[in-house]
Structure 1
């Protein structure tokens, strides 16, 4: 299956340096949450029912944790290292709940480049507008490799 036009691959293991970073900001909208819930058939009332959530410690619906994880893996696929990357390990600590319509800033930093194992370790921290950490993560990623066709590298 070939969807869309061929895309340039992201940075290879030799092009990535420790200390490289990326920051991105996301506003979590109801539409995104409803799409996620529809795709996964997840009917957890904590995510969408105000009357239920109001009776919990959260007081209002929260964003599904896996959606936040999806933002992390999507940024890795799109930006650092970029297209062609593969997440091989992901460890996330959800520190505080994220609520609907919150603005979250994710900061990614390459903390280790292991050329022997051909993986990079990326540290992720996410904070809300009140500057409270909502999650920390460590992601091991296999960066893309240059493709060879007919003895020549292709982009």
Structure 2
């Protein structure tokens, strides 16, 4: 598989500073849930069966935690540091359940730049439309290392 050669790579470690930030809003749609469930063969009734979920503390189907982690890693790959970066450590605390059709706002902030280890640490907080915190995470990322050609390929 050939990667588009005109795609620019993300920020290198020398281009990232503590305090760099990104805000991202995502809505959780049925199509995303069905793709995740199909790809993983995850048939947890808590994610898809309304009758089952009504008998739990959640009362309705919830979004799989791994999908929320995927939104975070995708934002890192696309935006901060961007294409060419690699997640090397991920710690997440799921505070509240996220339900189908919710809209979440994710706030990313670089909290540490370690040039010796070639890793940046990013803090992530996600809130729902009611401004309730649903998760927080700390992600260690190795930014792209080469900028000579300024392209992936």
Q: TM-score, normalised by structure 2?
A: 0.96
Q: CA RMSD in A?
A: 0.9
Partner of 1:128: 128
Asked which structure has the greater RCO (Cα within 8 Å, sep 6+), the reply is 2
- Number of the residue aligned with 2:29: 29
Secondary structure, counterpart of 1:24 in structure 2? strand
Instruction: State the match for 1:142 in structure 2.
Output: 142
Deviations 1:16-46 (A, max 9, x none): 0000000000000011001000000000000
| Residue 60 (structure 1) aligns with | 60
Q: Cα distance, 1:4 vs. partner? A: 3.7
Does 2:149 align with 1:154? yes
**Structure holding more strand per residue:** 1
Counterpart mapping for 1:114-125 below 5 A: 114-125=114-125
Q: Which residue of 2 aligns with 1:85?
A: 85
Q: Which residue does the alignment assign to 2:45?
A: 45
Q: How many residues align?
A: 150
TM-score (norm 1): 0.95
Distance in 2 (alpha carbons) for counterparts of 1:18 and 1:29: 33
Name the CA distance, whole Å, in 2 between partners of 1:123 and 1:13. 16
